[in-house]
A and B are shown apart, each in its own frame.
Chain A
Amino acid sequence: MQDRKIRILQILVVPVAAVLVAAMFGTRARAAGKAGYTVEELSPSMSYEEYEKRYKEYYGDATARMAEEGNPADFLLDDGRDLANKVEGSKGKSCASCHGRDAMKLKGAATHFPRYDAAIKGIMTFPMQINACRVQAMGAKPLKYESYDQLALTLYIKSLSNGMPIQVSIDGPARPFYEEGRRAYYKRQGQLNFSCAICHIQYAGYKARSNLISNNKHHTDHWPSYRLKWGKTGSLQRRFRGCLKNMRAKVPPYQDEELRNIEFYLTYSNNGDLIQVPGMRM
């Protein structure tokens, strides 16, 4: 009797254990795949000098002439400064209450963004930081991402760092988010099976129809930028979303984790580039 019971138990337990072990290995394998750093090996098809030559040949002095006529995004700077001095929220404060008149003490702050933030256990972008200050320090409402006021304030405060080199750190707990961003940048996605990297690394300098594909070297140093095609000033993440749409891929909402990680990866790879906002693009 006792023997039979054990036998039944064995029959039941062994397969269940086997399934459990298999499942454990399965999830481990999947987790490794997700966090794994295996990305496609891609390298630029031409030197950066050759790329710049093609860029100049292609655009000629079009961008210089555009700049001469003035950047419409400059109008946002004044409004951004006003917003930095404006008292809002339940605590009767403005940005200037903590960061000096015209928030001048924030000179250089933008060079360290995006950065890892322990409280949100993820990447804090510059627009998010501004909203975090509004909510926590001022008791004010967050500004809707990509709204005029959010862009104006971000642009103004970032402009205080103009001419300073980007200095993003990926040390310590930031590292996995950098790796995730890199993975997302190389991930084939969408109906067209493209990745950011295949265009902006391997095929930078080639023409997709009449668009010269840009090398990603200066991708993050000039946002928010005015873009002729938009007829508006917009953020780096708006540009990401545009490329994702062209790829016929899923387009995440602003400040979604994937977009923040990509922004973190890309900005780090632009370390040393001088911040120059607002930019102006076709």
Chain B
Amino acid sequence: MNCRDKVTGKNYLLWLAAASLLLLFCLPAPGRAGDVKQGEKIAKTRKLGNCVACHYLPDVESPGDIGPNLVEAMAAYGPDDRREVTQWIVDPRKFNEHTIMPPFGANRILTDQQIDDVVSYLYTLNKKK
């Protein structure tokens, strides 16, 4: 069936609204505020993000050293790079096909909201913020 036939008049506006709404949900929303406190908890809890298995984060006993120190790494990201930081967590294979870092979004280890929270927390480590 051809969708275009149906999109006429008032219908058109409705479709547009629906489509943009859908798009809004599909895109990783760069401006969406995450919960910093939740994000910190997610990043440091074994059953959730467990980022500290591999990365240094402040105030954690014996973090792992498989990945880069995230305080140092975040210094390289400015406010406009939120989407890139998010992508690292959603699916780092986009940057390195052979990475050991799990695809937290792609494999549904964390929800979009949880990833947003983690990114917000990571940005608090960013001295340049």
* B 65-92 to A, binary, CB cutoff 8 A, 1 in contact else 0: 1100000000000000000000000000
Nearest B residue (CB) for A213: B66
For chain A, the count of residues having a C-beta within 8 Å of the partner chain is 15
B64–A208 contact, CB under 8 A? yes
Select which of B50, B64, B98, B109 is within 8 A of A207 by beta carbon: B64
A193–B103 contact, CB under 8 A? yes
Chain B interface main SS type: loop
Nearest B residue (CB) for A45: B66
**Minimal beta-carbon separation of A249 from chain B (angstroms):** 12
For chain B, the count of residues having a C-beta within 8 Å of the partner chain is 17
B62–A191 contact, CB under 8 A? no
Known: A192-B107, A193-B107. A209 touches B64 (CB 8 A): yes
B63–A203 contact, CB under 8 A? no
**Minimal beta-carbon separation of A248 from chain B (angstroms):** 8
Select which of A40, A191, A193, A206 is within 8 A of B66 by beta carbon: A206
Chain A interface main SS type: loop
Nearest A residue (CB) for B46: A209
Q: Write the residues of chain A forming the contact surface with B, with a CB cutoff of 8 angstroms.
A: 40, 42, 191-194, 198-199, 202-203, 206-210
Q: Write the residues of chain B forming the contact surface with A, with a CB cutoff of 8 angstroms.
A: 50, 52-54, 61-66, 98, 100, 102-103, 107-109
5 further A-B contacts with Cβ under 8 Å, apart from A191-B107, A207-B62, A209-B62, are A191-B109, A193-B102, A199-B100, A206-B65, A209-B63
